[in-house]
Every structure is written in C-alpha cells, then in structure tokens.
C-alpha cells in the first residue's frame, strides 16, 4: 500500500470512528422517544452493522477494502477522542433538540389521541347498534316462538 493510501486510510478510520461515536451517542440520547423495546433493540443492533457496511464501502474506494490492526486502532482512537472531548458538547446539543421538539411531540400525541377518539366513537356506536339489532331480533324470535307454542 502506498504512503498516500495509508494516510488516507488512517484519516478515514479516525474520522469514521468519530462519526460512529457521534451517531451512537445520538441514538442513545434519543432512544427514549421510541415506544417499543423491540425497536430500540433493533436500532442498537442494526446501527453497527450498517455503519460497518458504510465504513468498508468507503474503504473499498480508498484502498480496495483492506484493513489492518493499526487502522482499527485509529478507529478506536477516533471513538475515544469523541467521548473524551466532544460528548459533553453534543449532549447539550441533543438535549436542546429534545427540548425544542418536546412541545411538538405533545401536540402530535394530542392530535393522535383526538383522531383515535374520533375513530373509536363511531366504531363503538356501530357495535352498540349491531348489539341492539341482535337483541331486537332475539326478542322478536322469542315472541314468535312463544306465539307459535301458544297456537299449538
């Protein structure tokens, strides 16, 4: 591998380690927004897999997709640099975004509850109507059976 290719590979691994840590900290920060535990688990499971595919796709264009132990160390160094120096800054940023989106989330949940309420009311009314029709039919059939038995 040429020196220029090695330098590009080192910088790419370092930056991708930083980006991986940034994305993962963002995922963990916004994880509470997901309601279903299965979705949380799937995201935490799929994120490293998808990121690894992106890493090797870019690495394929730089040096044919080859990686060595020292390149993996630069990837880990990028992660460590992010968590040591940048995490506190970006956590404040993520919390600011969450605070900004919180009223929007409440409005969306309120509208969703109203829509679900509008949909549920006719369904309940329809079920009640069907139940009343069945009761009336049963009463009529009982009266007819009673009148038939009186006749015979």
Taking 70 as the threshold, does the pLDDT of residue 80 lie above it? yes
Residue 79 confidence class, pLDDT cut points 50, 70, 90: very high
Least confident range from 1-15, 59-73, 136-150: namely 136-150
pTM exceeds 0.75, yes or no? no
Residue 9 confidence class, pLDDT cut points 50, 70, 90: very high
Taking 60 as the threshold, does the pLDDT of residue 38 lie above it? yes
Structure tokens at 80: 């460590």
């Amino acid at each position: 591998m040429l020196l220029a290719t090695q330098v590009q590979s080192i910088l790419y691994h370092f930056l991708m380690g930083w980006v991986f840590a940034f994305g993962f900290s963002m995922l963990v920060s916004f994880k509470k927004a997901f309601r279903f535990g299965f979705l949380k688990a799937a995201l935490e499971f799929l994120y490293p897999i998808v990121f690894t595919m992106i890493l090797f796709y870019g690495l394929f264009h730089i040096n044919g997709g080859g990686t060595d132990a020292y390149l993996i160390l630069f990837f880990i160094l990028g992660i460590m640099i992010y968590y040591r120096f940048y995490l506190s800054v970006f956590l404040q940023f993520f919390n600011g975004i969450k605070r900004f989106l919180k009223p929007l989330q409440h409005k969306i949940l309120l509208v969703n509850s109203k829509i679900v309420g509008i949909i549920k009311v006719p369904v309940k009314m329809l079920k009640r109507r069907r139940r009343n029709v069945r009761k009336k039919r049963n009463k009529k059939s009982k009266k007819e059976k009673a009148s038939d038995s009186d006749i015979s």
